[in-house]
Structure 1
Amino acid sequence: MAVNPMPFLSLFLPLFGAAMLALLPSPAWADQTDVRLDGLFDLLATSSGRPAAQAAEAEIWRIWVASGREEIDALMAEGLVAMNDQRFEDAIDLFGQITRRAPEFAEGWNKRATAYYLNDDHVASVRDIQTTLALEPRHFGAISGMGLIFLRRGDEEGALAAFEAVLAIHPGAPGARQRVEELRKRLGERGA
């Protein structure tokens, strides 16, 4: 009996592609302008297999968080520790130093937006999300953050639009599909 290799290959090739992209030598710089991102976003958008999408997403985040400048990367690491320790004011200050020293570095703005969100300053968070998206329009993390802010404000239509935008970039985004389904159901029930 002949075995059809196509089901195996359809699972294996996206994983192999993500692994090969991850093995490419890292340039001295890395951020939202990194040339590897286009291929990773293509893989993210077309991967039907969850492991391949997860590998592409992890590599995108790894690239986004690395500025390639030692002082900026040190501030990023320190800010992440502060945020993880729930020292949000410290994190905001550290990420603010990044945005002042490297205003072109999208992830500095995104991380500060996250710290503002966690510190319940949604106005400042939205402002930084807008800057993040001006620098990196494909930033599914920032768009998802905007969706969460819309939810906190009770704007379900805005939240739905944000999470649908996330899925257009990252169809396997954790939680986005579930939120879209829940919001469509709730909004549909109100419209009926």
Structure 2
Amino acid sequence: MKTHRAGKIPTWLAGLALALLWPVAADQNDDRLDGLFDKLQDAPNASQSAVIEQQIWLIWTQAPNDEAERLMDRGMQAMRLGEWTLAERLFDQLVEKEPKFAEAWNKLATVHYVLGDYNESMSDIEQTLKLEPRHFGALSGLGSIFARLGQPAAAIRVFEQVLEIYPHSQDSQHSIEQLQEQLLDRAI
């Protein structure tokens, strides 16, 4: 008979268990977010930060009511399937019904980005950040837009803002390194 040693629970499993115990209805106004952002600031490494990040995303993506939740779920499914026009229509409906739901705006920004409509995406990001100024996902999207538009200095500034909120964001750190190389190449 194989015995199991008692040990530390993997952080991803602890995060999942915690998420399952939390109530379903939430959004960017959820009281738990302040504590999670404090933990994100104090996390000692990228691994622990990633668990906290997932907990934040779980809260952000939980719509404020059942109808909004259905639209969010359908829109996210359309995104997973690459049905970008349908996703755009669903998220447009969602922001019309719930204009104060930050993640609805962020998802719409993502769809507009994928469709190459950077102006609309930036407008959606602006709405997201008005509702949730700590939205590191929206900021990352804005940095990606500036990078795509050939504005590496502006992109670096935005990714640095992400690092102020989420110090162990490996994606932002990597993006800054790549953009700094672009700036050096231009200077040569």
TM-score range, shorter chain: 0.7 to 0.9
Is structure 2 residue 167 aligned with structure 1 residue 171? Answer: yes
Aligned residue among 124, 128, 147 for 1:128:
124
Task: Kindly report which structure 2 residues correspond to 1:129-144, keeping only aligned pairs within 5 A, or say none.
Answer: 129-144=125-140
TM-score using structure 1 length: 0.84
Whether contact under 8 Å (1:143, 1:165) holds in the other structure is yes
Whether contact under 8 Å (1:53, 1:172) holds in the other structure is yes
The residue aligned with 1:100 is 96
Q: Counterparts of 1:124 and 1:56 in 2: how far apart (Å)?
A: 30
Q: For this pair of structures, how many residues does the alignment match?
A: 178
Q: Counterparts of 1:91 and 1:139 in 2: how far apart (Å)?
A: 21
Whether contact under 8 Å (2:27, 2:62) holds in the other structure is yes
Aligned residue among 35, 42, 45 for 1:39:
35
Whether contact under 8 Å (2:71, 2:90) holds in the other structure is yes
1:99-132 Cα distance to aligned partner (Å, 9 max, x none): 0111000000000000011111111101000000
Aligned residue among 164, 172, 177 for 1:181:
177
Q: Counterparts of 1:115 and 1:58 in 2: how far apart (Å)?
A: 21
The residue aligned with 1:26 is 22
Is structure 2 residue 112 aligned with structure 1 residue 116? Answer: yes
The one-letter code sitting in structure 1 at the alignment partner of 2:160 is E
Whether contact under 8 Å (1:28, 1:68) holds in the other structure is no
Q: Counterparts of 1:50 and 1:26 in 2: how far apart (Å)?
A: 23
The DSSP-based 3-state class of the residue aligned with 2:170 is coil
C-alpha RMSD of matched pairs (Å): 2.3
Whether contact under 8 Å (1:83, 1:91) holds in the other structure is yes
Gaps of 5+ in 1: 1-11
**Cα distance, 1:21 vs structure 2:** 9.9
Q: Counterparts of 1:59 and 1:20 in 2: how far apart (Å)?
A: 8
Q: Counterparts of 2:82 and 2:24 in 1: how far apart (Å)?
A: 31
Bigger CA drift: 177-186 or 75-84? 177-186
